[in-house]
Amino acid sequence: MATQLQEVEFTTNPLQRVVYILRRRGKQWLVRLALYLVLIDLAFVYFLPLAYFFLTSLKSPLDLVNPTVKWLPTTLFWDNYVFAWDQLGYAHALLRTVLFVVLAMVGQVGTSAIAGYAFARYRFRWVELLFMVAIFTILVPPQSILVSLYYNYRLFHWLNTWFPLVVPEWLAQGLFGAFFIFIFRQAFKALPWELEEAARIDGANAWQIFTRVMLPLARPALAVAIVFSVVWHWNDTFGPSNFLMTDYKQWPLSMELANFTNSALSAQNAVAGNQAFLQASGLSANVAGPIMAAGVLVILPPMIFYILIQRMFVEGVERSGLIE
Distances (CA, A) of 10 to 4, 21, 25, 183, 282: 10, 12, 17, 50, 75
Size of the residue set binding other proteins (CB under 8 A):
103
Q: Is position 204 an interface residue for other proteins (rule: CB under 8 A)?
A: no
Spatial separation of the C-alpha atoms in residues 113 and 99, rounded to whole Å: 21
Q: Is position 314 an interface residue for other proteins (rule: CB under 8 A)?
A: yes
Q: Is position 189 an interface residue for other proteins (rule: CB under 8 A)?
A: yes
Kindly state the smallest distance separating residue 155's Cβ from other proteins, in Å. Answer: 11
Task: Find the binding residues for other proteins in span 212-271 (CB under 8 A).
Answer: 218, 220-221, 223-224, 227-228, 231-232, 234-237, 254, 257-258, 261
Helix, coil or strand: residue 304: helix
The smaller minimum CB distance to other proteins, of residues 252 and 278, is found at: 252
The smaller minimum CB distance to other proteins, of residues 17 and 216, is found at: 216
Task: Find the binding residues for other proteins in span 96-115 (CB under 8 A).
Answer: 111-112, 114-115
Give the HSE-up count for residue 203: Cα atoms under 13 Å, Cβ half-sphere: 0
Alpha helices in 190-310 (DSSP H): 194-201, 206-208, 215-217, 219-235, 238-243, 253-269, 275-281, 288-309
Task: Find the binding residues for other proteins in span 152-171 (CB under 8 A).
Answer: 152, 168, 170-171
Q: Is position 140 an interface residue for other proteins (rule: CB under 8 A)?
A: yes
Residue 1, burial from CB neighbour count under 10 angstroms (0-12, 13-18, 19+):
exposed
Residue 161, burial from CB neighbour count under 10 angstroms (0-12, 13-18, 19+):
middle
- Which DSSP string do the residues of 4-40 spell out, in sequence order? HHHHHHT---HHHHHHHHHHHHHHHHHHHHHHHHHHH
The smaller minimum CB distance to other proteins, of residues 61 and 174, is found at: 174
Sign of the torsion formed by the C-alpha atoms of 254, 255, 258 and 263: negative
Spatial separation of the C-alpha atoms in residues 109 and 165, rounded to whole Å: 14
- The binder of other proteins chosen from 136, 154, 212, 275 (CB under 8 A): 136
Kindly state the smallest distance separating residue 74's Cβ from other proteins, in Å. Answer: 17
Q: Is position 37 an interface residue for other proteins (rule: CB under 8 A)?
A: no
Q: Is position 199 an interface residue for other proteins (rule: CB under 8 A)?
A: no
The smaller minimum CB distance to other proteins, of residues 91 and 314, is found at: 314
- The binder of other proteins chosen from 17, 20, 53, 263 (CB under 8 A): 53
Answer for the pair 64, 286: CB distance below 8 angstroms, yes or no.
yes
- The binder of other proteins chosen from 190, 198, 245, 270 (CB under 8 A): 190
Q: Is position 285 an interface residue for other proteins (rule: CB under 8 A)?
A: no
Kindly state the smallest distance separating residue 248's Cβ from other proteins, in Å. Answer: 16
